[in-house]
A and B are shown apart, each in its own frame.
Chain A
Amino acid sequence: MTELLVEPFRLPYMQRALLEVLLLGALAGVVGVFVVLRRLAFVSDALTHTIFPGVVIAHLLDRSLLLGALAFGVLTAVLLTGITSSSRRVGADAALAILLTSFFSLGVVLVSRTRTYTADLTVFLFGRVLAVDRADLLQTLALAAVVAGTLWALRKELVLRAFDPDGAAAMGYRTAALDLVLNLLIALVVVAAVKAVGTVLVVALIVVPAAAARLLADRVATTAVLACALGALGGWLGLAASYEVSVDHGVRLASGATIVVVLVALFALAAAAAPLRRRRRGPGNPRGVARWIRSARAAAR
């Protein structure tokens, strides 16, 4: 087992890949908690697609992919906040779908002009975690620090806004501003993940660990810790599995996609374990709690 999970990471490029997926898994996991609580999975998916043309344009202009992704991430985070809070006649979901497909098509049109069309497209869509270098790692680290710091600073307010938007507004919080911040954070996670897992699969990194954690925990803090751990675990196991199969069995497995498959398997385990956990702790109904308090008091006497 150690051979399988530790051995591959003696190689420097595998070490960098491991650090990258651990960071991304944890980061996407914790941001994902807010995505799942706010039911913004489709918004996140739209963001991943709208950032794609930014990456392509940066590539064509020979600029930093990060800057291109960042510019489009900010642009679409602003557009999305506007769409989800205002469009009544078209419907937010239809408006999102239009935004998603139009930006994505723009990216494909632009990338189709290059000679190395399919190779480029594959890299931008699915990433190349084994090609992550020191500079990429540092970029991811910096983005992770910004996202984690912002989440920490606004954790109370973001939870309150997710729980009770009217109540938050009545307390004087600008909910539209909080929404914009969350959309920007999601965009930053996508930006951080572009190089390693590509724009398409990052939504799985955001949504799947958080959804699994949601099944297992009934406090926001525990959900966040679990989502972090599951995201990092999925990254590690997925990377190790893709290496093992590719090197020892000669079957080429794309690392990014393998990570997603592992994450979904973890989600399935969580879904299977959730009813067991509920049964063990009781249905959690108030009568159960009252009974527990009575028995604890009796024991104290």
Chain B
Amino acid sequence: MEAEPPVLELRHVAVAYDRVPVVEDVDGTVLAGQSVALIGPNGAGKSTLIKAILGLVPVVRGSVAVLGRPPQASRRQVAYVPQADTLDTEFPVSAFQAVLMGRYPRVGFIRRPGAADRQAAWQALDAVGLAELASARFGILSGGQRQRVLLARAIAQEPRLLLLDEPFNGVDALSQELLLAALRRLRTGGAAVVMATHDLGLAHLACDEVCLLNRHQIGFGPIGTTLTAERLRATYGGQALELRGDGVIVARP
């Protein structure tokens, strides 16, 4: 029997907009159950790399493989969690309806979501601790609750690869706990996670691997050995501060 391909395989990936390279030479492998933090300053190419993994921007050099196939062929196995504050808070959908949207690709055109889809949406909403607010309008929820709704939508997709863009931005402590717990459960279930984040502390809590980015890859590997002072300075340049004493690095976004 052939070994199962890794969930995500990046081979010297370069992505460009209008022939201007945005991010270059990203190389690494993500296995089932692993979680990778994409770390780098604003404009480092984190969101672009996520879009390339989704197959929404073309890769100009190298290759991206999701479950051994091109990204476009694996979309059903991939879920994307956008930043909650990019969405219209006046939009007339309930939290439950927003989560149910994660089932639409399975439901297909014309048909309405079935009992199994509604069940999956309920379970996903429950998994992020929002079952009680299912019928509340998405826009009246707090930033952290909206981020949890979007994670629930991704959970309802039953993904094998989960991509998150700054999932902890503007999120309260309770929501942060619940997001972290839900992500842990997903990984236990065999999903791989890739998240773009500014927050080194949360990266340590949520991830075991790290990819340091600033237009090109500065490091990719286990978080404990890869996240060194030297590499962080290379990633953040003048924005990195070294504290005296224990040599801790604080990077500002």
Contact = CB atoms under 8 A, between A and B. Distances in A.
A166 interface: yes
A166 B145 CA distance: 19
B110 A152 contact: yes
Contacts of A290: 132-133
29 contacts: A37-B91, A153-B109, A154-B109, A156-B104, A156-B109, A156-B112, A159-B93, A159-B101, A162-B91, A163-B91, A163-B101, A164-B87, A164-B101, A166-B82, A167-B80, A170-B54, A170-B80, A170-B163, A171-B104, A171-B105, A171-B157, A172-B76, A172-B105, A173-B105, A219-B92, A219-B97, A284-B140, A286-B136, A289-B136
Interface string A246-274: 00000000000000000000000000000
A169 B141 CA distance: 24
B67 to A, nearest CB: 15
Contacts of B135: 289
Contacts of B72: 172
Nearest to B101: A160
Interface in A144-191: 152-154, 156-157, 159-160, 162-164, 166-167, 169-173
Interface of A: 37, 152-154, 156-157, 159-160, 162-164, 166-167, 169-173, 214, 217-220, 222-223, 283-286, 289-290, 293
Contact of B88 (A163, A219, A286): A163
A289 B145 CA distance: 14
Given A166-B82, A285-B140, A214 B76 contact: no
Contacts of A223: 92
B101 A167 contact: yes
A284 B139 CA distance: 10
Contacts of B153: 167
Nearest to A293: B132
B136 A284 contact: yes
B124 interface: no
B56 interface: yes
B75 A171 contact: yes
A157 B76 contact: no
Nearest to A214: B92
A129 to B, nearest CB: 32
A68 to B, nearest CB: 31
A160 B108 CA distance: 13
Contacts of B169: none
A156 B110 CA distance: 8
Interface in B124-150: 132-133, 135-137, 140-142, 145, 150
B79 to A, nearest CB: 8
Contacts of B102: 171
A163 B105 contact: no
A177 to B, nearest CB: 12
A166 B93 contact: no
Contact of A172 (B75, B98, B113): B75
B136 A170 contact: no
B107 A286 contact: no
Most A C-beta atoms less than 10 A away, residue of B92, B107, B109: B92
A290 B133 CA distance: 7
B163 to A, nearest CB: 8
